[in-house]
Chains A and B, each alone.
Chain A
Amino acid sequence: MTQGDEQHGGDRFPPTRRSVIEAARSIDSEERERALEALCAAYWKPVYKYIRLRWNRPADAAQDLTQGFFMELLERELLDRFDPKKSRLRTYLRLCVDSFVMNEDKAGRRLKRGGNVLHVALDFPGAEEELGAAVMDPAAIPSPESLEEFFEKEWVRSLFALAVEELRELCLAKERERTFLLFEAYDLDGNERISYEQLAQEYGIPLTDVTNALAWARREFRRIALERLREICGSEEEFQREARAAFGWEAK
């Protein structure tokens, strides 16, 4: 696109963060660790849940394998071998998980790892609770054929949860706590009966304030989620494809 293209709405769309794939190939070890952390933040939960269900591992073994997998990703420089032209990062990582668990089985290893090396807080009890909630609902238990879909869904859930968390922090920083509360009540809590009018009454504010607050929060959520997504994609093409998959823009 040329410089002359009209910018109607200004340019609030920020410059992109560097891709983890590029960062993982950096000669700078700090840069590589930062890449691993970004990747780990987005993927640890889908990986953990996948190991629990696909490989039917007990919680403690799955925790160990999850941490071990991300360590292996760093130590064996598996991201170097990823080619965005051949597959999606998500698919590549899932296949790497399968291969890692199989190799661990063959070697008969069960070592406690991770420890202080991974700087991302892995809330395994929280993940277990989510999984428990899913497992209790028979419809939510994925069949072996749909594990790929399950992994994708959990990846989207993890990505969106990170974006929601970042949005919460942004609202705090901008002193827009009420905006986040409105967003939480209307978009996150799943109460289909709640209306803008009810929220306006509950918070004692005009209806237009609710509308504006929700519009702002949704825009920011979208921006943050897409930024995070761009960060964990190997190429612009992959980003475009993954964004359409994550937001369901292909299926509608």
Chain B
Amino acid sequence: MKFLSDRALDRLRDGAEIPDLAGTPYRLLERVARGGMGVVYTAEDEKLQRRVALKILDVPGRESDLAKRLLREARVLARLEHPGIVPVHDVGTLADGRVFYAMKFVEGLRLDRYIASVNSIPDRLRLFLRICDAVGFAHAHGVLHRDLKPANVMVGPFGEVLVMDWGLAKILREGMLRSGQEVDPEATIFESLKSPVAAGGVTGISEVTEHGTVMGTPGYMSPEQARGDVQQIDARSDIFSLGALLRFLLTGKPGQISAAASPRIEKSLAAICAKATTAAAAERYPAVQELALDVSRYLDGLAVAAHRESIIEKTVRFYRRYRFFILLIAAYLVMRVLILLFMHR
């Protein structure tokens, strides 16, 4: 038997990674990235003559947990039709047994790289609001993302924001997937929703065995996720991640904002981050829309719900919001005074 050198082992590994697209309408173009489940490639859809992204599992088998999770991700995405969520075009199994799905090819930059070119805080906040919009839409359809972080947000060439990688998504509403379809047991812990955003439309809730596996990304993961306490995970867990993401947009890091480290960040913004990332889920914003509303209020120069202002802060904010009119009135008054003085001479 032939002895295989280390170099030969590497070559064999590299060769074995290339997917067999025979029998599909896709022609492989290039490898884009490796994720936790498999590899993402760009490919040419020769039927429709367009570029797509293919997410392909490494290991063959349609019954593995990863295969079920990938399929579930594709099905979740297919039902979440929103400009902020990447659309899925196709799903299937390759000749070599690997499960894949085809999605829109998003040309753009990951959020963590994109924000290097965005210096204005209001612009960053407007970007954040678009992320909230997509996540809020998913929540309204009974889906939690559970892995929100800068690396999972893409910004397109026209500033369009796409929330990616729904591989850890959790289905809160049974109706999201047709009955009888197999789903990842980790993600099918249908539970009593504590969050008002989804509590309205829950039907047919049932309890399925839970794994308690820790899934998510440190720094962006809520304490209940970090504990693997799946019973406690709801919309507020994503709100925690959004809070950490907001902090990242403001400071470049997901951790707590200290006044010394980030003197530029106003108290009201720091308070929004703090409220969204409170350890106790009950003290966080109850819904993404409320978090987004607070950020919008900040952008509009209004008081935010997360922060009780002092008289001085109120005055400063009032001044900033109506600076133009205040200065106009002040100029008018100064002119009147000057005219009066001139006339009395």
Contacts and interface: CB of A to CB of B under 8 A. Distances in A.
B2 A164 contact: yes
A218 B64 contact: no
Nearest to A227: B60
B58 A247 contact: yes
A8 B96 contact: no
B59 A239 contact: yes
A63 to B, nearest CB: 17
B63 interface: yes
A215 B19 CA distance: 10
A84 to B, nearest CB: 14
A6 B93 contact: yes
A19 B179 CA distance: 33
B15 interface: yes
A108 B338 CA distance: 113
Given A160-B12, A219-B20, A226-B59, A9 B3 contact: no
Interface residues of B, number: 47
B24 A8 contact: yes
Contacts of B344: none
A9 B5 contact: no
A160 B91 CA distance: 31
Given A157-B9, A240-B64, A9 B4 contact: no
A218 B59 CA distance: 15
A5 B62 contact: yes
A168 to B, nearest CB: 8
Interface stretch (A52-60, A68-76, A182-190): A182-190
A2 B182 contact: yes
Interface stretch (B65-73, B225-233, B302-310): B65-73
A240 to B, nearest CB: 5
A243 B18 CA distance: 15
A137 B95 CA distance: 41
B95 A161 contact: no
A161 B93 contact: no
B22 interface: yes
B8 A8 contact: no
Main SS of chain A's interface residues? helix
B96 A219 contact: yes
Contacts of B64: 236-237, 240
Nearest to A214: B15
Contacts of B38: 249
Interface in A214-231: 214-215, 218-219, 221-223, 225-226
A1 interface: yes
B49 interface: no
Interface string B1-33: 111110111111101111011111000000000
Interface in A1-26: 1-2, 5-13
Interface in B92-116: 92-97, 99
A45 to B, nearest CB: 9
Interface-centre pick from A156, A192, A222 (highest chain B CB count, 10 A) = A222
A8 B23 CA distance: 6
Contacts of B17: 247, 249
Given A221-B15, A247-B13, A8 B61 contact: no
Interface in A112-144: 123, 126, 129-130, 133
Contact of B182 (A1, A130, A214): A1
B59 A12 contact: no
A160 B90 CA distance: 33
A221 B16 contact: yes
B48 to A, nearest CB: 15
Contact of A240 (B9, B10, B66): B66
In this complex, the member of A186, A188, A223, A225 whose beta carbon has the largest number of chain B beta carbons within 10 angstroms is A188
Given A2-B180, A2-B182, A237 B65 contact: yes
B34 interface: yes
A88 to B, nearest CB: 15
A197 interface: no
A1 B96 contact: no
A248 interface: yes
A13 B23 contact: no
Contacts of B34: 249, 252
Contacts of B93: 5-9, 11, 13
A165 interface: yes
Contacts of A13: 60, 93, 95-97
A115 to B, nearest CB: 22
Contacts of A214: 15
B8 A243 contact: no
Given A9-B20, A236-B61, A243-B59, A187 B180 contact: no
Contacts of B68: 1
Given A223-B96, A249-B38, 4 more contacts: A2-B182, A6-B90, A221-B15, A249-B34
24 contacts: A1-B71, A1-B182, A5-B71, A5-B91, A7-B93, A12-B97, A13-B93, A13-B97, A160-B4, A161-B1, A161-B3, A161-B4, A164-B12, A187-B8, A187-B11, A188-B2, A218-B12, A221-B16, A236-B61, A239-B59, A240-B59, A240-B64, A244-B58, A248-B10
The 3 tightest CB contacts between A and B, nearest first, are: A9-B95, A13-B97, A9-B23
Interface of A: 1-2, 5-13, 123, 126, 129-130, 133, 156-157, 160-162, 164-165, 184, 186-190, 192, 214-215, 218-219, 221-223, 225-226, 236-237, 239-240, 243-244, 247-249, 252
